[in-house]
Amino acid sequence: MKAYRSILFVIVIVIGGVAFFLGVASKDRRRAQQAQQLLTHNNSVINALDTVQILITSKESAVRGYTITGDYIFISHLPRYNKIIAASIDSVRSLVASNIDQIQRLHTITRLINEKDAFQQEIVQARKVSIDSAMHLTASLRGKKLMDQISSSLATMKAAQELLLEDSIIRFRESSRQALRTSIIGAIAVLVFIGILLYRLSRDIQLRRKAEEELMQSEAKYREFVENADVITYTADIQGNFTFISKQVETLTGYLPEELLGKHFSVLIPPDHIPKVAAAYYEQFQARIRETTLTFPIIYKNNGIRWVEQNAILLERDGRAVGFQCVVKDVTEQELVRQKLEKIEAEQKEYQYRIQAILDNAPLMIYVKDLEGRYLVANRQCREVFGLADEDIIGKTVYQVQSNRQSAERYDTADKEVLQNRKSVELEDVLQLADGEHHMLTIKFPLYDKDNNLIGLSGFMKDITESVKARQEMIAARQKAESAETLQEQFLANMSHEIRTPMNGILGMTNLLMQTPLREQQREYVHIIKQSSDNLLVLINDILDLSKIKAGKISIEKIPFDLKEVLQTINATFRMKAAEKQLTFSTLLHPGVPIYLLGDPHRLSQILNNLLSNAIKFTEQGYVSLEINVRERQDKAAIINFQVSDSGIGIDSKQLDLIFESFSQASSDTTRRFGGTGLGLAITKRLAELQKGSIDVASKPGAGTTFTILLPFAISTKEEVARGNTQAIPQRSELDNYSGHHVLIVEDNDVNQRVLKYNLEQYHIDTTVVENGRDAVRWLEKNKTDLVMMDLHMPVMDGFQATDYIRRQLKLNVPIVVLTASVLRNERSRCLQIGANDYVAKPFAPEELRRCLDRFLLRKDANAPQTFMKSPVADNPVFDISMLMQLNNDKAIREIHTVFENTVPAGLDELKQLAIKEDWKGVVELAHKLKSSLGIIQVKDLHEIMTTIETSARNQQGLKEIVPMINECIAAYYHVAPMIKMEIDRALI
């Protein structure tokens, strides 16, 4: 149809075009004809004018002939000439009728011709009279004049006509050319039209062919579909009863058409679907819907269900619905597939819902991202914590979700790391949320599909603000506890020092006094003073011991010793004490007990002393005994059993468990009756436990008590014991050997200065006394001595600092013996560490002092290593101010030193606070700053530790070590500060 229309269109256009050009051409031809006519016309006019001229001239000749000859022959034709002239004039007139100019001219010519004719008639008449009169008339020139006028008028007219002729020739030529142009344009236009139309035609043909092909294809498809679909058609009346059914119904329902005709359609539908189907068609009928499609199940005759798709067209007649025309198609397979898919989809949805529920209820923020870092899933926690809706997250990247650029970058970097290394990554960050800062711990890990292809990553995120806070609080609390402990320790050290210092004075002076000649009564008094002081010292030692044990500050030594030696001392003491109370005292050392042991003889003595003291104290009559046996014996070790028994008052069984508690006594009147503090057994038990031993008690009130101690010892040898035993007490005869030696006493307490000084002078030793560490250093810079006896706790510069200074700055190896009133063992070991050679506890027994003098003045233990000489610390100065000194400007040096003293301790304190708060960025910055301060006044250890702190904090490694390291720095600073000050003072004098 479309193609025909095109052809029609082409034909119409072509005909139109041709008609138009024919029109144009005929117009051109007419114009050419006109031009032609004009040409002919003009020619006729010119010819006619020529004829008039010729006739006029001929007539003139005839008149002249007659005039001359008088022969009538000449004039016989004159009327004919006139007639022809008149005819010619008429014809000219008719030809130029439309040309007013020419008509006027013609008029003039006619007038002149008539005038000429009249004159010629006059001549003819005159001739008839006489030749002369005729000749006279001829000679009058009137004739000639008229003749010239006629000729010139005719010439004018002819010229005008010739002009017209020329014009008509041009016009003719023009119109011919126009006609040619028109035909060429026309031809081109027609060609173009035809071209376009041919193109359209061919395209239409192509399209039509394609459409036809498609149609053919779809027709084929349709045919195939119809053939395969088992389409059946039927009609039903408006009640739904079948009125016609096509044959194929059998394949679909199992019924023959005739079995169904007249039946209601519902017989074929499962009962539970009837209402729905009926309602649908009732609706179609009510609403007059022309066509509907509905899918529903039908019953197959031999049971079973088929699914059909029914296309129902409402049949109408005279504007009334009369029934349905239906096309039914079996869609059982599609329907089953669809139902299956639907089920799978529902299951999938359910599954997804469950996963989402799990994710949403997990106490973590959980999300999944694709490889480009876009969120695919985010659980409820995520949305709630960040205050975002699902659409604000899903499909977005972290940069769009997290407003803090730095945090976003950190997370993005972690993502990339996870994807690149295919390993999980953990990171902690502080995020600014609506309600403040939150610490977030995130664990990210890669996600794979079932073929093990990386598809993205997932993250678990937990708000650890609370635990971080708790951790920080814990560290702060620990710090507090630690500093409290340090304070307590410090307090103990001070206490110990404060109490022992006067005790030292009392005991020292008592000892000196006892060596002077005394009257009997005086001797007794002095003895009582000594005993009381000794008791007081025991009490102090007990209290301090217990505190130390509780603080875990006591350490057990492992030195070789001779058990018999320990027993000898104990024997000597308690035999006397027992004798005072008239008690039997016995010690029994069983033969199998190893004598040379490796352990702490002092602590063993302490334990036995405590138990035996109690036994004697609580026994009025009978005996006190010490029995030593082996419980277990191996090659290199043994468990030794010490049993202390008495026949004393015994202990109530109810109290037995309590007596090992501190400050507990068996009965409330014990103190009144026996004295004591209730500390002894508590200490004993702990000492035994510290040595990996145990204590047990068995008692019967009124009958006696037995304490059993089991202690493990490694077994030593006689040689080892001999080598370690440096406690040989010199004989009196060696006294003089000390003379000529010099000792520098560094002690701030006036009494103690004197105790020491008098003691040494007894041995003829020269002494110099200085008040503190600084003075000692100054004295040593200029003088020499054989031994320095150095108190630890002194103002200005204490014993530690002075010792350190002497060793590392002055590089002197003079023997230094520290006198310490402190029982804190770490204080003693610290002394040895920084280069002291020995220590003596204050108050000191005369024997102890003698031991030291022997060791360092008589070099009795030449074998003993000079620890400080080999100590690596000895090579390193504690600090170095040479760089500062290079300034060479006293004022500047002082100023920098002041800045150092002001900023470093404050900076260290701040650093500690930052570390406790876990502000690692702050720690890095401040540590770096402090490092540069420590570069000018170089405190070697401090500088190194600070570097470690800085790198640890930066790399987030070994963070737990940072606070202890800062504590170390603080201690180190306070240790060197007075030394630096002294050095600067000295340098700037």
The residue among 570 and 659 lying less far from ligand ADP, judged by its C-beta, is: 659
Contact pick of 65, 257, 678, 922 for ligand ADP (by CB under 6 A): 678
Closest CB 687 distance from ligand ADP, rounded Å: 12
Nearer to ligand ADP, 398 or 615 (CB): 615
What is the closest distance, in whole angstroms, from the C-beta atom of residue 678 to ligand ADP in the complex?
Answer: 4
Least distance (Å) from ligand ADP to the CB of residue 838?
A: 33
How many CB atoms neighbour CB 784 within 10 A? 10
Q: Smallest gap, in angstroms, from Cβ of residue 671 to ligand ADP?
A: 7
Q: Which of 56, 109, 164, 681 binds ligand ADP (CB under 6 A)?
A: 681
Tell me how far, at minimum, the Cβ of 555 lies from ligand ADP, in Å: 23
Q: If binding is defined by CB under 6 A, does position 907 make contact with ligand ADP?
A: no
Q: How far is the CB of 652 from ligand ADP (least distance, A)?
A: 9
Given the rule CB under 6 A, which of 51-59, 468-476, 552-560, 676-684 is the region that contacts ligand ADP?
A: 676-684
Distance from C-alpha of 101 to C-alpha of 99, rounded to nearest angstrom: 6
Q: Report in angstroms how near the CB of residue 564 gets to ligand ADP at its nearest.
A: 25
Token pair of 43 as six digits: 């020619």
* Pick 650 or 978: Cβ nearer ligand ADP: 650
Nearest CB to ligand ADP, comparing residues 138 and 665:
665
- Out of 52, 326, 666, 924, which residue is the one contacting ligand ADP (CB under 6 A)? 666
Q: Which is nearer to ligand ADP, 102 or 614 (CB)?
A: 614
Going by C-alpha positions, the residue among 546, 779, 797 that lies closest to residue 678 is: 546
Q: Which of 102, 284, 501, 665 touches ligand ADP (CB under 6 A)?
A: 665
CB atoms within 10 A of CB 667: 13
Taking contact as CB under 6 A, which single stretch among the options 321-329, 412-420, 646-654, 709-717 is the one that binds ligand ADP? Answer: 646-654
Q: Which amino acid is at 110?
A: T
Query: Which residues does 670 contact at the CB level (< 8 Å), separation at least 6?
Result: 676, 678
CB nearer to ligand ADP: pick between 578 and 681: 681
Reported as type and span, the H/E element at residue 698 is: strand 694-700
Which of 253, 625, 705, 767 is close enough to bind ligand ADP by CB under 6 A?
Answer: 705
- Residues touching ligand ADP, count (CB under 6 A): 20
Beta carbon nearer to ligand ADP, 34 or 573 = 573
Distances in whole angstroms, Cα of residue 389 to Cα of each of 379, 386, 395, 511: 11, 9, 12, 89
**Rounded to 5 degrees, what angle do the CA atoms 321, 327, 329 make?**
150
Taking the least distance from each CB to ligand ADP, the nearer of 257 and 676 is 676
* The binder of ligand ADP chosen from 82, 407, 670, 833 (CB under 6 A): 670
Element (H, E) at 225: helix 142-229
Residues linked to residue 746 through DSSP beta bridges, in sequence order: 770, 790
User: Which residue type does 108 have?
Assistant: T
CB of 615 to ligand ADP, least distance (A): 5
Count CB neighbours of 552 within 10 A. Answer: 9
Amino acid identity at 340 = K
Binding region for ligand ADP (CB under 6 A) out of 52-60, 355-363, 496-504, 674-682: 674-682
Residue 479 near residue 963 (C-beta atoms within 8 A): yes
Q: What is the DSSP string of 514-558?
A: HTS---HHHHHHHHHHHHHHHHHHHHHHHHHHHHHHHTT------
689 phi, psi to nearest 5 deg: -65, -40
Residues 6+ positions from 306 with CB-CB distance below 8 Å? 252, 253, 297, 298, 299, 300, 330, 332
- Which of 545, 646, 854, 983 is close enough to bind ligand ADP by CB under 6 A? 646
The answer to whether the CB of 109 falls within 8 A of the CB of 147 is: no
* 458, 677, 809, 967: residue in contact with ligand ADP (rule CB under 6 A): 677
* DSSP label of 988: T
Nearer to ligand ADP, 297 or 678 (CB): 678
973 binds ligand ADP (CB under 6 A): no
| Residue 138 within binding range of ligand ADP, rule CB under 6 A | no
CB of 911 to ligand ADP, least distance (A): 46
CB atoms within 10 A of CB 480: 11
Can you tell me the distance from the alpha carbon of 801 to that of 963, in angstroms, rounded to the nearest whole number? 24
Q: How far is the CB of 787 from ligand ADP (least distance, A)?
A: 39
Q: Does 648 bind ligand ADP (CB under 6 A)?
A: yes
Q: Which residue has the tokens 């030394």?
A: 979
Which residues, numbered 251-290, are part of the site for ligand ADP (CB under 6 A)?
A: none
Supply the Cα-derived Rg of the chain in whole angstroms.
72
- Among 659, 746, 915, 982, contact with ligand ADP (rule: CB under 6 A): 659
Pick one of 124, 150, 649, 930: the residue that binds ligand ADP (CB under 6 A).
Answer: 649
Q: Which stretch binds ligand ADP (CB under 6 A): 230-238, 670-678, 815-823, 911-919?
A: 670-678
Strands 704-715 and 637-646: antiparallel
Residue with tokens 């869609």: 331
Q: How far is CA 332 from CA 250, 252, 304, 312, 361, in A?
A: 16, 10, 11, 18, 42
Amino acid letter for position 702 = G
* Both tokens assigned to 516: 């002077």
Picking from 950, 944, 905, the residue whose alpha carbon sits closest to that of residue 925 is: 950
Does residue 676 touch ligand ADP according to CB under 6 A?
A: yes
Asked if 651 is part of the footprint of ligand ADP (rule: CB under 6 A), the reply reads yes
Q: Which helix (H) or strand (E) holds 616?
A: helix 601-617
846 binds ligand ADP (CB under 6 A): no
User: Of 602-641, which residues contact ligand ADP (CB under 6 A)?
Assistant: 614-615, 618
Q: Assign 3-state DSSP to the chain and report helix, strand, coil percentages, each to 5.
A: 60, 15, 20
Residue nearest ligand ADP, Cβ-based: 676
Residues at the site binding ligand ADP, with contacts judged by CB under 6 A? 614-615, 618, 646, 648-651, 659, 665-666, 670, 676-682, 705
